[in-house]
Structure 1
Amino acid sequence: MLRLGGTRRPVGGNYDVVIIGAGPAGLAAGMYAARLGLKTVILEKTMKPGGRTANAPVVEDYPGIERISGEELVDRFYKQAKKFNAEVVFGMEVVDLDVSGDVKVVKTKRGAEFKAYAVIIATGLSSKGLGIPGEKEYFGKGVSYCVVCDAPFFKGQPMALVGNDDHAMEEAVYMTSIASKVYVIPHADKIEASESFMNILRNSPNVEILEGARLVKIEGDGQKVTKIVVKLPSGEEKEIEVRAVFISAGEAPTTEVFKRAGIEVDKAGFIKVDPRMHTNVPGVFAAGDVTGIGFQIVVAAGHGATAALEASKYVKQLKRVKKVQLT
């Protein structure tokens, strides 16, 4: 179990670097930054670290660790960051930033104000769920928002893919080599995906595309998903036995507050970064899923380490060359 040792009170103060988000990217950044001698604080809006990773029942694709729960992996990240004296403050939702000068100011919903030379944004993504019965209850028990992460756990079993765009169809194609049967449920009037993906799916013997169908319910035995209920265009409801349901209704980066502060994002809202995790604002870096790159734990951790290394160089230059002081 995760043992939380972070501060929860509305505090604030001066730091070398403020990291926003305590998922794999943020925790890795915190561990590296603190180990490099930077006074480091990690702000997490929820009351526990890990983000979506903490909810993963099993992780098998993190190098050097054959099999581990997401919660335990995050716990290791968290302890390592704390070992090097990174502060972790829970319940701190960032609502405003001023990154226009050498001294960055980060303000939270609870009234705390943090000043720093550098900021690392690692706020990840928010999955767009469907809000249907059984979705929340069976999350981690057959319901997932990441095909690449979790489909291999259900190899040789029937699965459903819910979505209607290119990304969803690409995931369905990937599933054809893993599942005994793939049911494609658009959850929309029509599928809006490229013909290249659709041709592969239409010619795959283990794929059934339910045009115009919508997912209305996910059912199980309390421990695992056993079937779904879909509503066909005719209005008829149909039960389908599946072991896993992958929902590809989209994920959104939580970047509006950063966009308002002048940090550039792309059309989808992902923060734009260069290969060294620099944003368009000097002293502001971004790491992990919020950049729209990779969407894997190991990638996020690598981003966090890179951002911290770059932040360290930036902070030391401000102190030594420009003689900037926090006030």
Structure 2
Amino acid sequence: MRNVIIIGSGPAGYTAAIYAARANLNPLLIASSVQAGGELMNTTEVENFPGFPEGIQGPELMAKMQEQAEKFGTEVLLDDVTELDLSGDIKRVVTGYSGEFEAESVIFATGSAYRKIGLADEERLSGRGISWCATCDGFFFKEKTIAVVGGGDSAMEEATFLTKFASKVYVIHRRDTLRASKIMQERAHANEKIEFIWNAEVTGISGENALSGVTLTDTVTGEERELALDGLFVAIGNDPRTHLVHGKLDLTEEGTIAVSGRSSKTNVAGVFAAGDVIDPTYRQAATAAASGVVAALDAEHYLAARESGVQDPAGIDLAPAN
């Protein structure tokens, strides 16, 4: 029997583990068998995480977080959760390879997944010219012509990074202005290898065994044209990873896990959530880490209340405020 099981290994999960371990809760963190570390494992330079004025590589930051969590007693398991039973006082977590675990509390910090364009050939040519991770696949596009789809910070970071390898990088955006922060826009605009294609959507993908080009549709006129490409990187956002808790926890209109106010408390007592899986707005490493702190403290208070026999209002109070 565990005090707390943390599902997820991004900044929220590892920070929750650090705090839970320091509170002598001996947490088990189930990281994932193939995606341990979360989205930052696919990020190059992280310049806005406090404490690193010179910046730090995303994978290095996550490795340091894991090391710190393990230093205080967190057990990290590289496995995938396949089933959850959150009913009752004892929660049951089933994994793909390591069997079943029980705990008095669970912290859900599974983050988000790359959003896809939704075209039939997108999956077929995945890994054959289509990618969602520039740091993973950019090396394979030396002196090639590629495009990035998106208009946010992630798209600008991907495009700028890819200029290290590609001879030409198009940025395809469905509007005529970017959502990205000013500094990220300035970097992209200043790069001679980057060319912007405004008011355009990718509505078709060409290629037999590898990507050869895309069909672009003008979002204003509806006019179509073909663009020859060797690679296409999709950076149009993310969706919260909530598939394990559908029908088990309440979700918001945005699809994130619903929590009570600024807490991490879900509608099920003893179950807490943190990070991008509850945040449709900010989605930063620093805010995810802060959210992990909240979840660990909420779980600690819940467990202390259980031990003392006090009824702890751990779930969302659905009654209207007086």
Give yes or no for TM over 0.5.
Answer: yes
SS in 2 for 1:180: helix
Q: Distance in 2 between matches of 1:296 and 1:146?
A: 17
One-letter code aligned to 2:67 = K
Give the whole-Å Cα distance in 2 for the aligned partners of 1:277 and 1:237.
47
Task: Indicate the residue corresponding to 2:319 in structure 1.
Answer: none
1:109-188 counterparts in 2 under 5 A?
109-110=96-97, 112-130=99-117, 131=122, 132=125, 133-136=128-131, 139-140=134-135, 141=138, 147-149=152-154, 151=156, 154=160, 160-162=170-172, 164=174, 171=179, 177-180=186-189
Report the counterpart of residue 299 of structure 1 in structure 2: 287
For the structure 1 residues 176 and 90, does the alpha-carbon distance in structure 2 shift closer, same or farther, using more than 3 Å as the test? Answer: closer
Q: Offset at 1:281?
A: 1.1
Query: How many angstroms does 1:211 deviate by?
Result: 4.0
Percent identical pairs in the alignment equals 31
Change (3 A) 1:146 1:31: farther
Shift of 1:42: 0.5
Change (3 A) 1:264 1:161: farther
Change (3 A) 1:51 1:164: same
Is 1:63 matched with 2:53?
A: no
Q: 2:252 aligns with which of 242, 259, 266?
A: 266
Counterparts of 1:196-211 in structure 2 under 5 Å?
208-211=197-200
**Gapped regions of structure 1 (runs ≥ 5):** 1-13, 183-205, 219-227
Query: How far did 1:109 drift?
Result: 2.9
Residues 321 and 160 of structure 1, relative CA distance in 2, 3 Å threshold: farther
Cα gap change, 1:213/1:129 in structure 2, threshold over 3 Å: closer, same or farther?
closer
Please report how far the alpha carbon of residue 67 of structure 1 lies from its aligned counterpart in structure 2 after TM superposition: 1.1
For residue 285 of structure 1, report the CA deviation from its aligned partner: 0.6
- Give the counterpart letter for 2:255 in structure 1: G
Q: 1:289 to 1:232 in 2, by over 3 A?
A: closer
* Distance of aligned partners of 1:135 and 1:316 in 2 relative to their CA distance in 1, 3 Å threshold: same
TM-score, normalised to structure 1, is: 0.70
Aligned twin of 2:144: none
The residue type paired with residue 44 of structure 1 is A
- Superposed displacement of residue 72, structure 1: 0.4
Contact 2:150 2:173 in 1 (8 A): no
Code of the residue aligned with 1:123 in structure 2: it is T
Aligned partners of 1:100, 1:289: CA distance in 2, in Å? 24
Whole-angstrom CA distance in 2 between matches of 1:72 and 1:212: 35
Deviations 1:287-319 (A, max 9, x none): 111112421111111111110011111111111
Q: CA deviation at 1:252?
A: 2.0
Measured against aligned partners, the alpha-carbon deviations of 1:34-78 in whole angstroms (never above 9, x if no partner) come to 111102100122246311111212111101113111110000000
Q: Which residue of 2 aligns with 1:89?
A: 77
* TM-score, length-scaled by structure 2: 0.71
C-alpha displacement of 1:138: 6.5
Cα distance in 1 between the residues matched to 2:288 and 2:268: 21
SS in 1 for 2:94: strand
Asked if the contact 1:159/1:245 (under 8 Å) is kept, the reply is: no
Contact preservation (8 Å) 1:181, 1:207:
no
Give, in whole Å, the separation in 2 of the partners of 1:34 and 1:42.
10
Contact 1:160 1:245 in 2 (8 A): no
The equivalent residue for 1:308 is 296
* 8 Å contact kept, 2:7–2:30: yes
SS class of match (2:13): helix
The residue number in structure 2 matching 1:221 is none
Q: Any idea what SS the aligned residue of 2:30 has?
A: strand
Query: Pick from 238, 251, 261: which aligns with 2:227?
Result: 238
Counterpart amino acid of residue 171 in structure 1: R
C-alpha separation between the residues in 1 aligned to 2:47 and 2:235? 21
Residues 6-49 of structure 1 show CA distances to partners (whole Å, capped at 9, x for unaligned) of xxxxxxxx110010011111111111101111021001222463
Match of 2:141 in 1: none
Supply the AA of the counterpart residue of 2:226.
Answer: E
Q: Structure 2: where are the runs of 5+ without partners? A: 139-146, 218-222, 312-322
